[in-house]
Structure 1
Amino acid sequence: MTDVFGSGGIRERVLAGWVAAPVRFREDANAEEDLALGGYLDRVVVELAQNAADAAARAGVPGRVRLSFRDGTLVVANTGTPLSAEGVESLATLRASAKRDDAESAVGRFGVGFSAVLAVTDEPVILSRTGGVRFSRADTAAAVAEAGLQSPGLETELRRRDGQVPVLRLPFTAEGEPPEGYDTAVILPLRDEAAAELVRRLLDEADDALLLALPGLERIEIEVDGSVRVLTDAESRWYVQRAAGILDENDRERLLADRPTEERSRPFWSVLWALPRDADTQPPRTVHAPTPTDEPLSLPALLLATFPLDPSRRHVAQGPLTDRLVQEAASAYAELLRTRAEDGADVLPLVPTGLAAGALDRALRELILTELPGIPLLPAVEDGALLKPRDAVVVEGSDDAFNTVLAPIVGGLIRSARQDRTALDALAVRRLDLAELVDQLGAAAEAESPEWWREVYAAISAMVTDPLLRESLGTLPVPLADGRLVRGVRGLLLPGHELPAGVLATFGEYGVRVVHPAAVHPSLERLGALSISPRALLEDSAVRTAVEHSGEADDPDAIAAAVLAVVAADPSYADGLWWLNDLVLRDADGELVPANALVIPGSDAESVLDDEEVAPIDRAIVERFGIPAVEAVGVLRSLGTVSASDVALDELPEAMADLDGIQDWAYDIAPDGSRFGATVGEVAAVRDLDWIVDDAWPRVLEILGSSPELRRALVEPVRVVGPDDRPHGAPSYTAWWIRERVLLPDGEPLAGRADPGADPVLANFLDRAPEWSARLDPGVRTAVGLVKEVGDLDSEGVGLLLDRLADPERVVEESAILRLWSQLGSLTAYPAQTPERVRVLGTGGATRVVAASGAVVADAPMWLQREDLGGFVVASGVVADGLSDLLDVPMAQEVAAGKIDGEGTAADVPDIVRELVPEVPDVWWEHEELTVDGAEVSWWVDEEGEPHAATFNGLAKALAWSAGRWDQRHAILAILNDPARASQLRIDATFDHPATPPD
């Protein structure tokens, strides 16, 4: 075996040094272990590929390398300069390189990368065309053990390391040839399965970054268990930007002062940025120097640069050299973006934004963002020329169509998508707020034609759908038909084809602003312009002003004709526009009169309204425009109405301000008389009630009942909601006004009189309504205050009824008073004052009048035995309570204790009674003489519900009342008097509650 590389001599020198100084053995072992377990732990593929690239560079040939892994062995074959004696010495000498002063192999600066193989093998072999060399942990251990016989100190160090020795310090001669076509092969028998798994992973991870990092390599073949993968022509898949140079003499001393001696002898630097051409390819997120480090990188590109590394080979070392390379890398990145922009690419996604990933990344980003604002990167909207970010401007919120229109006006304008905002801010691109631009647009484009403005409005059609942008665009300049350029779209009118000729000309004098026909575009309507339909024209504030001041106009007839021409096309155009009532028209005498004070000749309105308040309209106007048109603007053919929604009672709408007594109505219907905070959802009112002549009311009420609109304004109550959000009903304004203001010829109110269909008992105590009221709609009669039943009475009517009931001159039958009491006790309307006298039960079916202080309300039949309590008002349950409050008369139990005197004798209730009425108690109390509070009675039921009686008749009543079956008192009495009737009574009881027949 020929020792062509002097391996034996190297071994002897190294061993001799270890024998002479065992501490050097320990230093070498520690240094090699640091490299194998530290910076080179997972770099075996990268480091061997780098050595192959260096060999090809030194030989000046295209580099090829093949990495073959099978049967537990990794073979790395490469072309280029073969192994030499200097190379072997470099391999066997830690931190000493054979690549000194070699600019072409600047990527392999330390010469110790081969130590990466120790992460996977203990027996590396290198075969070259010039010879072979191998390293062996076992052979080295044997040699050290033999040398230790001469040096106790070396033997001690070996024992302390438990036989672990440095593998790459003692070279041994190896036999063999590299594979055909290759100049050198590294053979690595893998240590174990963990090493095999590591190699598989590293071969799988090898990608284009390896080719880009090692430009000396043209082709990389990777074979794993027979499957071959080839890496070649990386630059066809990446956009690459390179920069390189040699530090000049002045920079060398300053920048390399803190670097190791051998690094200082290689003043070469290089930077490479690579962007993937395929959008789905993700570049590594770490810096390569040029092999991978642990320095994080947030930029979307691969960075390969000759950064100096710390001893771990994992991190970039800080210092002036790194600072210089960061500056060069930033400049190269800016140049890469400039090149991509010139090729038409969108470079904004490549602009650094967000948070930095680390210190080095932060330094790179800061310098890149310093460079980019001065690099032409952004295409101008106008001609596509690339602009420097510092010279560019974006309009906030604008889109492509609008930008195209703006480009000739706004210098340096570029397009700006929402997702680009952060990048443009990072580039310090000037932003122009859309509202600010719109404010400037009028002056910049004052001379532009209406057709040009239409192009502007077409360009913003997509933007107006965004509520935020629409607000900014609302102040756009708009050319008008009269030649003016006005600012602001809202309220402008867009011309159409529905209006009669001459109408627009009439109202133009009053400030109606109509857009120039050549500028009209649908975007204007979305921004608040109104389509100039007839309704829109009438709603325009300028038209309203013209109408309200038509009496002062130079040509009021022209205004009247214009308005009526619009309304005549469709009278519904005037719905809700109450102020059209102010339009002045000619009356029959040629005088100018507001429309709401005019009537149609021969109409119901003319027949019922005061001719001192209204006048007939000129017939020529009616003939020209038609009755529906003049009615729509307020001329009366029948009675008119006004309406409003969501009415606040403390701030009535302007449309209702002229209604007679409207403020009093609002006060009367407000909760507790306070209008503040009270609202009414819908209000409809008949107007001009105070213009109706006195003797016309029979006809007026028929009119009100015959028209659905008028009837609704009278009959339907309003829903009042107070500040506490509790609703209650109240009479309509029309009903209130008639009840308050309409008097009959006798001077007395119509309201409160007996309805023709009233309860006869009630009608006896009320004034009769006039005979003509029978012809009225029943709902109308109730609304105007005619009383059909007790519940229709208002508080004044209730007071009148109570006064008349207390009139001793009146004869009131017992049946009538009982019927009225049952209704009066349910009222919620109370008179202002309680009566001083009340009618109570008398004797023999009659009634009598007593002072209120001498009456009580009896809500149980047993109290009627107590004549000592005074006169009785009779009712039960809540009706009794209501009568007590209404009449201010106490309940019987409030003036008497109802305490039974004596104990009585307990007796069982007969079974036949309990069989007939199961609810009766089991026991009753018999008394020879029964007194309550000292007053003699025949029966009573005490507070515990126990029946007491002194007679059979009294017992029947006591049992029925205590059982809650007062309706059975006569049956109980019958069975007590004649037990033999029990069977018949049981049979009869079967039919008290007949069963529901089957379906």
Structure 2
Amino acid sequence: MTPPDPADPFGTAALRDGTLLAWQASPTRLREDTATESDLVRAGYRDRVLTELAQNAADAATRAGTAGAMRVWVGDDGLHVANTGAPLDGPGVQALTALRASAKTAGVGRFGVGFTAVLSVSDDIEIRSRTGSVRFSGERTRTVLREHDLTPPRSGVPVLRLAWPTAAPPVSGFDTEIVLRLRPDVDARALLGGFRDEVADLLLELPALGSVTIGGAEFTCVRTDLGDGIHEIAVAGRRWWEGEGPHARWLAPVGDTGEIAPVGDDVLRAPTRSDEELSLPVLVIADVPMQPDRRRLLPGARVDRIAEGYARFAASLPADQRIALVPVPGFARSEADGLLREAVLAELRTHPWLPAADGDDDLVPERATALDGLTEELAEALADVVPGLVAPALCSPRYASVLGAVDVHRIGPARIAELLTGLDRDPHWWCRLYDALEPLVVDSVVAEELASIPVPLSDGRLVTGPRTTVLGSDLGVGGPLALPWVRLVHPDAAHPLLARLGAGTVTAVDLLSDPALFAAVEDVDPDDADAAAELADTVLRLAEHVPAGALPRELGALLLPDTDGELVPADELLLPGAPLAAVLVDKSPFGTVDSETADRYAADSLRAVGVGWGFTVLRADLPTGPDHDLPDEEQWWDTVDTDPDTLVAVRDLDLVDETRWAQALSLLAADPDTASALADRDGYTAWWLRTYAVLDGQLLGRLRAPDDLTFEGLLDPCPHPDAEQLRACLAASAVDSTALAALLLERLADPNRHPTPAAVAAAHSALAGAYGAGVLDVTELDLPDAVRSIAGTVVDATDGLVPDRPWLAAVIPAERIVIGATATARALAELLDLPLASDAVSAEPTGPGRATEWSREPQAVLAAATAGVPLPRGPLTVHERLVVRCAGAVTGEHDVAWWVDRSGTTHCTAAGFAAAVASGGAGT
């Protein structure tokens, strides 16, 4: 055997001769090689430079039995990719030049057709190895073709068919180095950036690689054994839990919180990324037959085998993380995805991995049961009632579709009620069960499903359904109440859930709210004192612990004796010493309950049935109209845009003595129930007090809160010590009614009032705003003959002017200016029937100025910067002195700081820039 030539250890000369001989013998073969290589670059191996080189590096490490290291950097002569492991050998060189064949017998890939991926960035490739080096060159191949009278194809030449030996060794510390002399159109920096994005995937896909260095950044793969066949893999700051089956590896990403973050959108990796789209929650790295370019599965490939062992992987994970491995129901992304999803689901359905409620052995999903809303307490109660219960954490609606995908049998409350039928348990067990079931009853549907749940009775029977039973909880009369005419729930089993499911809860409030009781109250003969006393005794004993307002108004008809011995309805009586009596008119319809009755029963009991102490509060849910017997209720309903959800109103306000309102307001503010009604400005109580209550000779609605200075000098402050709590019952800071508007107009025209200019402007702004918003009924407004100027003077309305352009105010005497906000000037003028200044005054500058631009004037720029507003636009003329000649409602010549003429040009002096810029120049 002829020893290899040291200068050409891989016999590249003979390989070149053989290839050239084949091309000379068949020029078609040359075109075929060119087309084949081009097709591989443009199709099968596009965008796979690093992937293919990493596969070669991984295979080299496997063959050498070492952990592979790979380094990628850009040098002066191109892109360098070096790796450790088995060096280049003769079969490898032959595989490189064969184009259609690979020398690999095992591993991922070793210098087969995939190496053509490098041609996407380079036509000059050198492979340096410690056993010898070779170089491929498109330019050199063209030269050789011409030397052999072969015409290079127009589409190019097959770069990887002819190899030449070189003497360059690999970089120190590596066994093989590939140098790609990049084409001019290839951006090396962008190429390295793309490589960095691929590194994490490649380290996951190719376990033979331990580290990859891209430029100056090193990426390592750290593998930690967690036990139970699970490994944790850490790459580039991210973590994955890895499970392994006979034909695949699965990697579940783990987030910063230690929980699996399902993938949901990836591709099959065999072992590197293919074009087979997947929607599984894990990365799938499988040993499965692929087409030569490893982008698509071979027809007939056994995809289902990839799922073998997947359930074991799930079972090895923490119990609270396993459900994340179930594919979320949805459309498959590819045919392979559909087959693999179905295989994975079949694997999960038929193997034990699902956490059980009792925490013991894992469940096989198709034999497991999930109860919607299951809790730990309910699971414990149902442990021997419902076999195969899934862990409570998985029984929320969030996992319903996922559990359905693996055929977990789902049951609801109705099935639970059915399974409990005839169950022999002690009352305490039933109470614990009801307590555990209660969180499930979130709506009437669930309540209906539990309508047939068993209920133990005090006589030992077990009946079906709570609706025929009553609960005997403490009624405030010395213990449970004996009710022989109803099915009484055993005291040890009594639970609020039974009331929600239809059981009659025999509390004091429920008994006192029974329509049968109302009928009995109405049927009492006023002349039968004994019958009235007997019924009153029963009701008042039950009402002992019931707060006032908790019972129906109908109990106010209960007959009680007054101080004259007459039987009077309870809601027409007051307790002895009731503070309400001190504020009512002398001839109020209220009497006083007799002292003997007041001494015998608790005051709370008497108040619960309607006997008065202070003001009482009416609460009505979903009211629809003025049918609550409240004074002036119809007027209030006219102010309401939509019916309130709850009507809360203080009763009997119309019975207050007009001279005692200060005391009555103190009483209202001191009681939390009535105080809350005072705070609702749109509510009936605040409205009634604003409209009818009188304090110091003025309606409350005409007074302002002491700290509300909006209309200071126009409205008087409320003198009551509880003014802060009465704020909603006083005048608002805005004009919200025609009555308040009329009052402000009257006060503005009153020369005896001395509001500040700010209060005058605020009042005008509020009036104009209300008028513009359509709040006011102008037909009910009588305009005074006088108006208030910004100078604080009261002037004849015929002299007033409303400035609607800021510069006009400079020529109008302050005694004639009626102003609010410039934006609402027109509304104010219409409301007060005053002329707008722009309609009544005309003026133009009299002297010449210097035409310029805003951006050229330092003072203008400084003013805009200081005020934080944009620099105005439009024509600008600067004057040393600016005089305008006026005509109309104002005449004569006036010195002004700035002005805007009819053409839209802003005229300005040095002193006027700040105001002009703040007003936006001619744009205002």
Q: Normalized against structure 1, the TM-score is what? A: 0.50
1:205 to 2:197 alignment:
yes
1:477 is matched with 454
CA distance change for structure 1 residues 495 and 114 in 2, over 3 Å: closer, same or farther? same
Shift of 1:276: 2.4
1:192 equivalent to 2:184? Answer: yes
Aligned to 2:171: 179
Match of 1:504 in 2: 481
2:70 to 28, 48, 65: 65
Q: For 1:850-999, what aligned pairs fall within 5 Å after superposition? A: none
Cα separation, 1, equivalents of 2:479 and 2:175: 101
Amino acid at match of 1:309: M
1:794-873 aligned at under 5 Å gives the runs none
Return closer, same or farther for 1:425/1:174 CA change in 2, 3 Å cut-off. same
| Equivalent position SS for 2:296 | coil
1:32–1:94 CA contact under 8 A, matched in 2: yes
Cα deviation digits, residues 567-597 of structure 1 (max 9, x gap):
466599996669999xxxxxxxxxxxxx99x
Measured in 1, the distance between the counterparts of 2:475 and 2:563 equals 28
Q: What is the CA-CA distance between 1:477 and the residue it aligns to?
A: 3.4
Q: Quick one: which of 238, 241, 244 aligns to 1:242? A: 244
Tell me which residue corresponds to 2:422. Answer: 443
Deviation at 1:230, TM superposition (A): 3.3
Q: Kindly tell me: are residues 22 and 578 of structure 1, through their superposed partners in 2, closer, same or farther at Cα, counting changes over 3 Å?
A: same
**Are 2:328 and 2:401, in contact at CA under 8 Å, matched by a contact in 1?**
no
2:819 alignment counterpart: none
Measured after TM superposition, the shift of residue 601 of structure 1 is: 12
What is the match of residue 88 of structure 2?
A: 83
Partner of residue 142, structure 1: 143
Within 5 Å, give how 1:376-775 maps onto structure 2. 376-414=352-390, 415=392, 416-444=395-423, 447-466=424-443, 468-473=445-450, 475-489=452-466, 493-500=470-477, 504-505=481-482, 508-511=483-486, 513-527=487-501, 532-540=506-514, 564-567=537-540, 681=627
Query: How far apart in 1 are the matches of 2:513 and 2:46?
Result: 84
Partner AA of 1:229 in structure 2: F
CA shift, 1:147, in A, is 0.8
What pairs up with 1:27-66 in 2 under 5 angstroms?
27-66=32-71
Compared CA separation, residues 81 and 354, structure 1 to 2 (3 A): same
Q: Which residue number in structure 1 is paired with residue 133 of structure 2?
A: 132
Q: Distance in 1 between matches of 2:408 and 2:138?
A: 63
- Match of 1:536, as an amino acid? D
Cα distance change on mapping 1:526 and 1:392 into 2, 3 Å: same
Q: Secondary structure at the match of 1:95?
A: coil
The answer to whether structure 1 residue 121 and structure 2 residue 161 are counterparts is no
SS at match of 2:174: coil
Match of 1:293 among 260, 274, 288: 274
Listed one character per residue, the Cα deviations across residues 125-174 of structure 1 (whole Å, up to 9, x for unaligned) are 111121111001111010001111xxxxx32xx2644xx21110110011
Deviation at 1:483, TM superposition (A): 3.5
2:350 equivalent to 1:374? yes
Cα pair distance change 1:358/1:277, threshold 3 Å: same
SS in 2 for 1:316: coil
Q: Which residue of 2 aligns with 1:362?
A: 338
Which residue, out of 217, 220, 230, partners 2:220? 230
Counterpart in 2 of 1:333?
Answer: 310
Letter in 2 for 1:378: L
For residues 348 and 315 of structure 2, the distance between their equivalents in structure 1, rounded to whole angstroms, comes to: 9
Output the CA distance in 2 between the equivalents of 1:369 and 1:85. Answer: 47
Is the contact made by 2:40 and 2:117 (CA closer than 8 Å) also made in structure 1?
yes
| 2:195 match: secondary structure | helix
Q: Distance in 1 between matches of 2:524 and 2:489?
A: 25
Q: Which has the larger radius of gyration?
A: 1
CA contact under 8 A between 2:171 and 2:177: conserved in structure 1?
yes
> How far 1:281 sits from its partner (Å)?
6.5
Structure 1 distance, partners of 2:597, 2:211, is 101
Task: Tell me the alpha carbon deviations over residues 626-660 of structure 1, each in whole angstroms, 9 at most, x when there is no partner.
Answer: 9x99x99x9xxxxxxxxxx99xxxxxxxxxxxxxx
On the 8 A contact 2:252/2:260 being kept in 1, the answer is no
Counterpart Cα distance in 2 of 1:351 and 1:295: 17
Deviations 1:951-975 (A, max 9, x none): xxxxxxxxxxxxxxxxxxxxxxxxx
In structure 1, distance between residues paired with 2:282 and 2:514: 61
Residue in structure 2 matched with residue 965 of structure 1 by the alignment: none
**1:642 aligned residue:** none
> What's the RMSD between the two structures over aligned residues?
4.8
Q: Describe the superposition over 1:292-317 as per-residue Cα deviations: whole angstroms up to 9, x where unpaired.
A: 11211111111112333345543223
The aligned counterpart of 2:29 is 24
SS of residue matched to 2:344: helix
Counterpart of 2:82, as a letter, is A
Counterpart contact for 2:199–2:212, Cα < 8 Å:
no
Q: For residue 134 of structure 2, give the secondary structure of its aligned residue in structure 1.
A: strand
2:243 aligned partner, one-letter code:
Q
SS of corresponding position for 1:80 = coil
Partner deviation per Cα, 1:856-896 (whole Å, 9 max, x = no partner): xxxxxxxxxxxxxxxxxxxxxxxxxxxxxxxxxxxxxxxxx
State the partner residue of 1:731: none
Task: Give CA deviations for 1:605-629 in whole Å, capped at 9, x if unaligned.
Answer: 9xxxxxxxxxxxxxxx999999x99
Once the two structures are superposed, residues 911-958 of structure 1 have per-residue CA deviations (whole angstroms, 9 ceiling, x without a partner) of: xxxxxxxxxxxxxxxxxxxxxxxxxxxxxxxxxxxxxxxxxxxxxxxx
Gap change, CA 1:178 and 1:159, over 3 Å in 2: closer
Are the equivalent residues in 1 in contact too, given 2:199–2:219 (CA < 8 A)? no
**Deviation of the 1:471 alpha carbon:** 4.7
SS across alignment from 2:492: helix
In the aligned structure 2, how far is the partner of 1:526 from the partner of 1:604? 39
**Pair 1:303 & 2:293 matched:** no
1:386 to partner: Cα distance: 0.6
Q: 1:679 to 1:36 in 2, by over 3 A?
A: closer
* Aligned partner of residue 92 in structure 1, secondary structure: helix
Aligned to 2:329: 353
- Aligned-residue offset at 1:41: 1.6
SS at the partner of 1:8?
Answer: helix
The aligned counterpart of 1:219 is 210
Structure 1 residue matching 2:47: 3-state secondary structure? coil
SS in 1 for 2:72: strand
Distance in 2 (alpha carbons) for counterparts of 1:242 and 1:540: 68
Deviation at 1:49, TM superposition (A): 1.4
* Distance across 2 between alignment mates of 1:716 and 1:185: 95
Query: Could you tell me whether the CA contact under 8 Å between 1:373 and 1:427 is conserved in 2?
Result: yes
1:349/1:367 CA distance change after superposition, 3 Å: closer
Instruction: Name structure 1 gaps, 5 residues minimum.
Output: 149-153, 245-269, 552-556, 582-594, 606-620, 635-644, 647-677, 685-711, 718-999
CA separation in 2, counterparts of 1:27 and 1:286?
32
In 2, Cα distance between equivalents of 1:384 and 1:567: 57
Q: Deviations over 1:24-76 (max 9, x none)?
A: 11001111111112111211111111112222222333333222334462222
CA 1:82 to 1:363, structure 2 compared with 1: closer, same or farther past 3 Å?
same
1:346 deviates by 2.9
Deviations 1:3-43 (A, max 9, x none): 11111111111111111211111001111111112111211
Contact 1:64 1:220 in 2 (8 A): yes
CA change 1:523–1:118 in 2 (3 A) is same
Offset, 1:214: 2.2
* CA distance in structure 2 between the aligned counterparts of 1:109 and 1:331, rounded to whole angstroms: 28
State percent identity of aligned pairs. 36
Unmatched runs of 5 consecutive residues or more in structure 2: 1-5, 225-230, 234-239, 569-595, 610-619, 635-924
Tell me, in whole angstroms, the C-alpha distance in 2 between the residues paired with 1:623 and 1:36: 103
Is the contact between residue 78 and residue 182 of structure 1 (CA under 8 Å) also seen in structure 2?
yes
